[in-house]
Structure 1
Amino acid sequence: MPYASADEREVFVSRFNRVVAVLIWAACAALTIGLLVSIHDLRLLYIAPCAFFALLAWVTLWRPLFVVARDGLTVVNVTSTVQIPWEALINVDTKFALTLYTPGHKYAVWSLPAPGTSRTLRATRSETKGRVGKPSVADSVRRPGDLLSTPSGAAAEVVRRQWTQLRDSGALEAGIADETPVTVRWHLVSLSALVLLLAGTIAALLLA
């Protein structure tokens, strides 16, 4: 699901994942309130599992996203945020998920997996009936994940279109992909918090 921000970036998130995250948060909040109101012994330690699953939902379901901007691509996954300048990009694929290739590396977008069989059939019918256009990628190399009515296909089309426009306009210098750095920032704070809360969860289950 894409949306445009004020600076003309296109941001893609998984609506399904975010709905699941909200449901998990609601359940964790209800359980926590219930524990605080009705329990006054060691069973209060069960708040730790609630906190763990709430943070896990944010890390794995809510935070992951993909941004297409004039200055490059940003992939926010579970463990890291990757910033890819357009000059470093050499290929785009959708076999298992939207995947961006740079020299010697590839970065899959956690929030944009390729569709399953049923989603592919629905997307194909939408294309056949003219409800959406056809992706710009050649038919001989098209994958189910390239269908425009799928999240991975919609994002891949935006990347390919803007990449082509930048190359055709001369805004990208050719032949410098090997020299263009890709920035990877690990999510050390949230991952450390998950480990600590997991330890607290195990302790709560053993002690309460």
Structure 2
Amino acid sequence: MSSDVVVFRPGFGRGLSVVVWVGCAFVVVSGLVRSPGTTWQWLPLVALVALLMWAAYWNPAVVVTPAGVELRNVLRTVELPWPTIRLVDVKYALTLETAWGSYSSWAAPAPSRTRARTAGPGDMAHLPESSYGPGGTVRPGDLMSSDSGQAAALVRSRWEEVRDAGLLDDPRLERSRPVVRVHVALIASVLFLAALSVLTLTL
């Protein structure tokens, strides 16, 4: 069984984050050059926008580890050990059905209908065996051209390795609920910058 840790982040989100951060930097630099006396008032707001982009589009991820799957969403991270995972669903986003309930990933949304219609044969080839339905069908959310499909393939491949190694033959739960880490520092930083933005812009 693989011991690697694999982190999936959507390429679109990372690209969008970089574009917004470059725009924020341009606004700050040009403002300091033209009007440094008033630009400082906008710095907290610009920092807030940059932080929100990081929280919503850069930081979220699906982390596949030897122990299980971590769903790193905007406000919290949920740890789901392999023995708890019963089904990988991709209807609206990568969703793991577990012994504790259903948990979805912000980082892996399913594709739109338009995007699904443009999928080619390569998007449906060489997927983990548990991706295929009756008659070898593949759901739109499993297509490799989609974020949900790429994340689901990572999860299913590792889950099948764990299953084939016999580690799921007698699954036992060590906890009555998953480990959930709330992103307290992020929430506090957003609230602080939002309050500071209001304060500086109303002075």
Deviation at 1:181, TM superposition (A): 4.8
Structure 1 residues 29-68: aligned runs within 5 Å: 29-68=25-64
Q: Which of the residues 98, 120, 139 maps onto 2:133?
A: 139
Deviation at 1:73, TM superposition (A): 0.8
Structure 1 residues 63-78: aligned runs within 5 Å: 63-78=59-74
Q: What is the TM-score when the length of structure 2 is the normalising length?
A: 0.86
Deviations 1:108-166 (A, max 9, x none): 1111100012211122xx12xx4650643342585310123322112212322321231
8 Å Cα contact 2:123-2:144 kept in structure 1: no
Q: Give % identity.
A: 34
**Matched positions, count:** 198
User: Which deviates further from its counterpart, 184-193 or 67-76?
Assistant: 67-76
Deviations 1:28-64 (A, max 9, x none): 1111112222224345211111111011111111111
Amino acid across the alignment from 1:133: A
Q: For the structure 1 residues 52 and 168, does the alpha-carbon distance in structure 2 shift closer, same or farther, using more than 3 Å as the test? A: same
Q: For the structure 1 residues 193 and 21, does the alpha-carbon distance in structure 2 shift closer, same or farther, using more than 3 Å as the test? A: same
Amino acid across the alignment from 2:22: A
Deviations 1:82-129 (A, max 9, x none): 121101112211111001122232221111100012211122xx12xx
Q: For the structure 1 residues 30 and 205, does the alpha-carbon distance in structure 2 shift closer, same or farther, using more than 3 Å as the test? A: same
8 Å Cα contact 1:17-1:62 kept in structure 2: yes
SS, match of residue 118 in structure 2: helix
Q: Which of the residues 158, 166, 173 maps onto 1:170?
A: 166
Structure 2 match to 1:194: 190
User: Which deviates further from its counterpart, 144-153 or 176-185?
Assistant: 176-185
8 Å Cα contact 1:90-1:101 kept in structure 2: yes
Q: Which of the residues 48, 59, 82 maps onto 2:78?
A: 82
8 Å Cα contact 1:88-1:182 kept in structure 2: no
Between the aligned partners of 1:181 and 1:131, the Cα distance in structure 2 is: 35
Q: Which of the residues 94, 97, 113 maps onto 1:98?
A: 94
Amino acid across the alignment from 2:187: L
Between the aligned partners of 1:75 and 1:164, the Cα distance in structure 2 is: 19
